[in-house]
Amino acid sequence: MNWHAAPAEAWQALGANRLRTALTMLGMIIGVGAVVLMLAVGQGAQATVQQGTR
């Protein structure tokens, strides 16, 4: 496959399946947000525990 044609074909496929594309993007955004949120909660809890023991 031609490397120059691949991005154009990918955009065409994304445009043809707009609902699937939107739902996939939404799922990825929610997933990444959940991971970031859990890391922040974990670090906050760790900081709270460390402050309580000092």
Percent of the residues in the chain that have a pLDDT greater than 90, as a whole number:
72
Q: Does the structure show a pLDDT above 90 at 1?
A: no
pLDDT value of residue 3:
85
Mean pLDDT, the chain, rounded, equals 92
Domain ranges of the chain: 18-53
- pLDDT, mean of residues 17-29: 96
**Tokens standing for residue 53:** 């023991």
- pLDDT, mean of residues 27-53: 95
Using the CB atoms, write b or e for 30-48: b if 16+ within 10 Å: eeeeeeeeeeeeeeeeeee
- pLDDT, mean of residues 35-43: 98
Given the structure tokens 């760790």, which residue do they identify?
46
Higher local confidence (pLDDT), 5 or 31? 31
Given the structure tokens 């991971």, which residue do they identify?
35
